[in-house]
Structure 1
Amino acid sequence: MTIQDLKSQNLILFEVISGSKSFGLNTPTSDTDIKGVYYLPKEKFYGLEYIPQVANATNDEVYYEIGRFVELLLKNNPNILELLATPEDCILYKHPLMEQLQLKDFLSKLCKDSFAGYAITQIKKARGLKKKIVNPMAKEKKSLLDFCYVLQGYDTVALSLFLAEKQWSQEQCGLINLPNSKGMFALFYDATSRLGYKGIIQKENSNEVSLSSIPKGEKHIGYLSVNQDGYSKYCKEYTEYWEWMEKRNEERYNTNQQHGKNYDSKNMMHTIRLLQTAEQILSMGTLNIRVSNREELLAIKAGGMEYDALLEIADGRIASVEKHYITSSLPERPDEESIIKNLISIRELLYQ
């Protein structure tokens, strides 16, 4: 199904303007995000074509089937609770049956993990992104050879330098394992290429060194140390970095470059907002998504604060959330049995 199908068949139960405009954080360049709730035609719901979510290609318009919507509300999912808490001036349409889903019936102590937990995840993500921005990676990928070192006395020298000094090639090297010595190998060299050594690696993208059959009596030329763990870590970071480069939002990236603070400022703004929201829910038992500190949050988005100062603010908010969690009068979790009965009642009215 498409969003147009939902509209043409009058299946929409709830439709709102979400995101920055509902939070009161919109600027002249802000997009308009639309979210909503729908129900499926009877034959699809009772048949084998249950469709929990419908979105457009850019995901700035997303609609949830009412059962999926309730399921996420029961988990205190931040995006879904905020959707239900949309201010009146951002509600485009609301079916009378949606009045049976009251925000107060869903707010619970689960929000500590759903809101604050998500915010903590975003802080970790921001740290990782800062590392990517500050430490760009070369497009040319290193090979395992770059993580190999030859022992020389009480020191080591990079394999590439060792081979270059001797004008040797890695393809004419041979290795054998050293017992009880992880990552250590005896190194041999055959300048004639007659002994059939396999080289240190056989392919540029090899993840392990090659071992050779060494004729008895051949004298080793040294010992090779292979930092396999370091290479594995590098490969993981390389893949993550270039996937991020391909998928990054250029507008946000350019904004981050312009303010020069080396962190995703929009991400950090929403992280602080989420922590504020968790505080509000736990301390007051309510959820008002329209922020009262618009200018402060927009200043964060514009890169007006240092990264370490933001982390201090976040740490303080997290401590406050933990404190309010202990004293909150909210239930541990929503009354699932009662809410499911309510959902069944709504469905019966929709499909009668």
Structure 2
Amino acid sequence: MTIQDLKNQNLILFEVISGSKAFGLSTPSSDTDIKGVYYLPKDRFFSMNYIPQISNETNDEVYFELGRFVELLLKNNPNTLEILASPEDCILYKNSVMSSLTIELFLSKLVKDTFAGYAISQIKKAQGFKKKIVNPIDKQRKSILDFCFVLYGNNSIEIKEWLLINNLKKELCGLVKIPNTIGIYAIYYDYLEINNFRGILQNELSNELSLSSIPSNCPVKAYLYFNKDGYSSYCKEYKLYWDWVNSRNIERFKMNQSHGKNYDSKNMMHTIRLLQSAKNILKTGTLNIRSTNREELLNIKYGKWSYKDLMSYANQLLNEIEVLYERTSLPKLPNYSLAEETLIKMRETLY
């Protein structure tokens, strides 16, 4: 099914404008995100073809099936709680049956783990972003040779330098693994070009060193150490970095570059917003998603805070959340039985 199918069959129960426009944090460049709730026709609901969620290709329009929506609300999932708590001016459509679902039915002490827990994951994401910005990886991929070193006196040098110093070709080298060692190889050299040695590696994209059969009368030229763990770590980091480069939001990346603070400022704005929401829920027992501190949050988005100050502020909020968690009047968990009873009555009305 598609979102258009939901609309054509009148299956949508709730539809809201979400994201920055609902939070009161939109700017002229902000997109319009749509979230909603639908229900499956009775035959589809009871069949093997239950569809819990439907979204468009860009994921800026996401709709949850009623049962899945309630399931996530019971878990105090931030996204679904924020949908349910949408301001009146952001509600595009609301079926009367949705009035049965109130925010008070679901809010509980779980928000400490969901809102604050998600915020912590975003902090780690921002730290990863900072690491990538500060430590870019060259597009030109390193080869095994960059992780090979030749024992040279009481020191070692890169094999590329060793080959250059001795005026040798890597294609005429032959390698033999030294038994009972890790990463140590004997290097032989075919000066007469008669032994058909396999060289150090087959090509620059090889992930393994080449080994050769060595005549018994051929002397050892030197000993090589291959830092295989270092090479494996580099390959992993290279892939992660360039996957990130290829999938990142270019406009958002340019904004982060322009303020020069080396962190994902939009990500950190929403992280602080989530922590403030968790604090206010535990303090007041309700959820108001419209931000009352727009200027402060937008200053974070525009990179006017240092990364150090943001981390300090986030830790302060986390400490306040811990204190409020012990004092809040919210229940430890939502009333599952009442929520299930409400869901059943809603389905009975719909069917």
TM-score of Structure 1 vs Structure 2, range by shorter chain: over 0.9
Question: What is aligned with 2:187?
Answer: 187
For residues 41-85 of structure 1, give each alpha carbon's deviation from its aligned partner in whole angstroms, at most 9, with x where no partner exists: 222222232221122222211111111111211221111111111
Q: Give the Å deviation of 1:168.
A: 1.9
Question: What is aligned with 2:90?
Answer: 90
Question: What is aligned with 1:273?
Answer: 273
- Which residue type is aligned with residue 271 of structure 1? T
Question: What is aligned with 2:309?
Answer: 309
Cα distance change of structure 1 residues 227 and 329 upon mapping to structure 2, 3 Å threshold: farther
Question: What is aligned with 1:130?
Answer: 130
| Structure 1: runs of 5 or more not aligned | none
C-alpha separation between the residues in 2 aligned to 1:241 and 1:24? 33
- Which residue type is aligned with residue 144 of structure 2? L
Q: Does 2:22 align with 1:22?
A: yes
Indicate the SS of the match to 1:181: coil
C-alpha separation between the residues in 1 aligned to 2:235 and 2:247? 18
Q: Give the Å deviation of 1:217.
A: 4.1
Q: Does 2:41 align with 1:41?
A: yes
Indicate the SS of the match to 1:192: coil
Q: Give the Å deviation of 1:294.
A: 0.8
Question: What is aligned with 2:169?
Answer: 169
Cα distance change of structure 1 residues 186 and 350 upon mapping to structure 2, 3 Å threshold: same
For residues 220-269 of structure 1, give each alpha carbon's deviation from its aligned partner in whole angstroms, at most 9, with x where no partner exists: 22221111111111111111121122111111111112112121110110
Q: Give the Å deviation of 1:178.
A: 2.7
Question: What is aligned with 1:11?
Answer: 11
For residues 113-162 of structure 1, give each alpha carbon's deviation from its aligned partner in whole angstroms, at most 9, with x where no partner exists: 22112111111111111222222222111111111111112221111111
Q: How does 1:1-352 map to 2 (within 5 A)?
A: 1-351=1-351
Q: TM-score, normalised by structure 1?
A: 0.94
For residues 266-321 of structure 1, give each alpha carbon's deviation from its aligned partner in whole angstroms, at most 9, with x where no partner exists: 01100111111121222332211111211000001011111121111112222222
C-alpha separation between the residues in 2 aligned to 1:193 and 1:71? 72
C-alpha separation between the residues in 2 aligned to 1:210 and 1:96? 72
C-alpha separation between the residues in 2 aligned to 1:151 and 1:141? 25
C-alpha separation between the residues in 2 aligned to 1:183 and 1:272? 47
Out of 101-110 and 154-163, give the one that drifted further. 101-110
Q: Give the Å deviation of 1:192.
A: 3.0
Cα distance change of structure 1 residues 177 and 79 upon mapping to structure 2, 3 Å threshold: same
Q: Give the Å deviation of 1:11.
A: 0.9
- Which residue type is aligned with residue 292 of structure 1? T
C-alpha separation between the residues in 2 aligned to 1:196 and 1:332? 74
C-alpha separation between the residues in 2 aligned to 1:115 and 1:145? 47
Cα distance change of structure 1 residues 254 and 46 upon mapping to structure 2, 3 Å threshold: same
Out of 185-194 and 161-170, give the one that drifted further. 185-194
Q: Give the Å deviation of 1:330.
A: 2.6
- Which residue type is aligned with residue 58 of structure 1? T
Q: Give the Å deviation of 1:211.
A: 2.7
- Which residue type is aligned with residue 138 of structure 1? D
C-alpha separation between the residues in 2 aligned to 1:75 and 1:196? 66
Q: TM-score, normalised by structure 2?
A: 0.94
Cα distance change of structure 1 residues 283 and 169 upon mapping to structure 2, 3 Å threshold: farther
Indicate the SS of the match to 1:323: helix
- Which residue type is aligned with residue 16 of structure 2? V
For residues 24-43 of structure 1, give each alpha carbon's deviation from its aligned partner in whole angstroms, at most 9, with x where no partner exists: 11112211111100011222
Indicate the SS of the match to 2:13: strand
| Structure 2: runs of 5 or more not aligned | none
Indicate the SS of the match to 1:107: coil
For residues 194-239 of structure 1, give each alpha carbon's deviation from its aligned partner in whole angstroms, at most 9, with x where no partner exists: 3333322223222232333333343222221111111111111111
- Which residue type is aligned with residue 195 of structure 2? L
Once superposed, what is the RMSD of the aligned Cα atoms?
Answer: 1.7
Q: Give the Å deviation of 1:98.
A: 1.1
Cα distance change of structure 1 residues 333 and 182 upon mapping to structure 2, 3 Å threshold: farther
Indicate the SS of the match to 1:67: helix
Cα distance change of structure 1 residues 216 and 113 upon mapping to structure 2, 3 Å threshold: farther
